[in-house]
Structure 1
């Protein structure tokens, strides 16, 4: 279930708090959530084999796996941060930040960054903790490490930039926001020499050197009669390819922006609370009941839709060549044809939920289970 955060003033009456909880959980006194759709027998059309398997502690926070130069960097609840060779799973380095985590990992291949539950930004250089900085607001989005800087966006949408090597604060970007924001991982990623960050239903392009706004592009406009219904925050991960970045606005829309010009390309109404994947042909994501939809990248028209995995608690996806890959709440990994939506392969893990978006390095796809299993699969 997604969470919300009050910003700018204290939370209002308990009645509104109850409204938030019920609206986001979908519990208006109606039936409970249906059981996951049973998996149908599948004759694999794509050769997928397990490349390696490792383990790390349990994962219950919004983990983003960083991949750089053939290295995966992951983390667990207890503060373990681990860098692994993507091809064979060999450990590159392992560290313990001595605190439980609320967000991570960001990495450029050398510098890695996580945020603790005590709201402390912790930065490591090749596995050695080099500095810590207490942040003024709660963070659930993984930090971004790029250009010898560490960027952090908090749930109140404030963006802070720090020097990656000594922790000096370089700038802060903040503008008046809504009283209610989404406590879910937002969009924070680089595009050439621009920093992309979610600001409500808009994608903003900032100058990474000084935090000045270069452009803003609307993906979704808030609508509704109360604060909950007007939530339209962008949720990560977003999909980047060429000059395009495609993202989901919480429960409202999926859209694509030309990040070179800062202009909207298209936006389509779509429910859902998890990020999307995409390439130059398709943008793919799952909605609230785990119906999978593929939109054509060029114009946002629907290419295909599939309901074979309804109520299976799908993760955000990742593109893997001509396939798109999802994990589910029972630990299964599903490959679908990118252009057809046909199921082409399936693999099991440890039976615990895959709540982290799969990550791709070369022809290896890594999934992380909530039980701490790291499963790498190689596909033809």
Structure 2
């Protein structure tokens, strides 16, 4: 049986109980440091290897205080020519996506916990004070601000003229994208013991998909919030509340008419988008960071920071890369024929999709890369917990090296 330390017990939230704010702040994010194996094991040390692919930091820049040592979900957002990032204290910057030059910067004085997400000329942010805020992406001015039921850690989603947010108490709220007015909300019962996760809802074919406690996945109609179906992906088992903790808390992935989901002690499963039927379930691994899909494969970072390739049709495992064990890896992102993940020491690692072998590595910062790398137009973008925003090429530049990066103010 897996051993749990006091630190792990502190990493879960007793949602719905009062007086736990101090516990949340003290223990935020500790759970992501530990995987499914004995949590006394140290992270794997990096081994020297001959890279087959050159990774080059094209430019980097500082964004305020970064995460300010908090467990938050701050990510870069890109458009065709711009990249945006925000720090915990509310400093928002827009930069040229290709060169990194600063276009504008504003201090919103918000306590930002999630975002930004870009769409329809807006940047959408969530805060620890239960605010959803829309900024004009051309100058950072506030377009609207509205309140929801609790802190927002999940990334907002924009679909057409609707913004969907999930707050930490489990409520899903749909807002008008132009005004921020509430269109509908959906409450569901969540267990007293649950994981504090960066997982976010997904919208596909006018349906909002979201996993939650007790191993459930729900589909809500985007126009009115009414449930279309609910599926049980994994059943809790064990004697104690910790052993019975199951939380489908990673972002659902949609490919065609199939949804792929995973979560804490929930395995990996394929579910029909039409009716919620579970098509297959792989119970040998799970992830609370997330997955990526390409061709007929799923790529999964498991709870022990091992990276897997699974057959999308059956869930069968095709390869496993364990040389980065317990390095607190992000969910995978895909670029060309490679898988890219970040780790707790600021390294980006490049793996072959064919066999999982390590083919490239570069260090972006000394602070952790805690959220999934973002790939846009064959460039990898990351935002570290220490506040470094960086652009990385995986094809290399003739005559350059990682130390030749352009450092920007």
Pairwise TM-score range, normalised by the shorter structure: 0.7 to 0.9
Match of 1:314 in 2: 329
2:303 is the counterpart of 1:288: yes
1:261-299 CA deviation, whole Å, 9 max, x = no partner? 543332211144221222232212223332222211111
| Contact 2:130 2:167 (8 Å CA) reproduced | no
Change (3 A) 1:183 1:99: same
Shift of 1:68: 4.1
Match of 2:403 in 1: none
Q: Distance in 2 between matches of 1:237 and 1:197?
A: 8
Q: Distance in 1 between matches of 2:368 and 2:189?
A: 37
1:226-262 CA deviation, whole Å, 9 max, x = no partner? 3322222222344343333322211331223333554
| Contact 1:111 1:145 (8 Å CA) reproduced | no
Change (3 A) 1:234 1:32: closer
Q: Distance in 2 between matches of 1:209 and 1:379?
A: 41
2:136 is the counterpart of 1:125: yes
Change (3 A) 1:26 1:378: closer
| Contact 1:187 1:196 (8 Å CA) reproduced | no
Query: Which residue of 160, 171, 186 maps to 1:173?
Result: 186
Change (3 A) 1:23 1:93: closer
1:284-342 CA deviation, whole Å, 9 max, x = no partner? 22233322222111110000012111122211221112111111111110000112101
Query: Which residue of 218, 239, 249 maps to 2:232?
Result: 218
Q: Distance in 1 between matches of 2:103 and 2:226?
A: 37
Shift of 1:360: 0.8
Match of 1:113 in 2: 124
Q: Distance in 1 between matches of 2:309 and 2:264?
A: 17
Shift of 1:359: 0.8
Shift of 1:363: 0.4
Match of 2:174 in 1: 161
Q: Distance in 2 between matches of 1:22 and 1:370?
A: 14
Match of 1:15 in 2: none
Change (3 A) 1:271 1:316: same
Aligned residues: 370
Equivalent residue runs for 1:255-266 within 5 Å: 255-266=269-280
2:97 is the counterpart of 1:89: no
Range 243-252 or range 204-213, more displaced: 243-252
2:196 is the counterpart of 1:183: yes
Alignment RMSD (CA, Å): 2.8
Shift of 1:364: 0.7
| Contact 2:210 2:252 (8 Å CA) reproduced | no
Q: Distance in 2 between matches of 1:320 and 1:376?
A: 13
Change (3 A) 1:32 1:305: closer
Q: Distance in 1 between matches of 2:389 and 2:381?
A: 7
Q: Distance in 2 between matches of 1:120 and 1:23?
A: 26
Match of 2:220 in 1: 206
Change (3 A) 1:217 1:276: same
Q: TM-score, normalised by structure 1?
A: 0.88
Range 362-371 or range 245-254, more displaced: 245-254
Q: Distance in 2 between matches of 1:43 and 1:159?
A: 47
| Contact 1:156 1:181 (8 Å CA) reproduced | no
Equivalent residue runs for 1:290-305 within 5 Å: 290-305=305-320
Change (3 A) 1:181 1:260: same
Change (3 A) 1:7 1:329: closer
| Contact 2:337 2:353 (8 Å CA) reproduced | yes
Structure ranking higher in strand proportion: 1
Query: Which residue of 366, 369, 374 maps to 1:354?
Result: 369
| Contact 1:72 1:83 (8 Å CA) reproduced | yes
Q: Distance in 2 between matches of 1:357 and 1:26?
A: 18
Q: TM-score, normalised by structure 2?
A: 0.82
Structure 2 residue runs of 5 or longer lacking an equivalent are 1-7, 21-28, 396-409
Structure 1 residue runs of 5 or longer lacking an equivalent are 13-20
Q: Distance in 2 between matches of 1:120 and 1:91?
A: 26
Range 360-369 or range 231-240, more displaced: 231-240
2:53 is the counterpart of 1:42: no
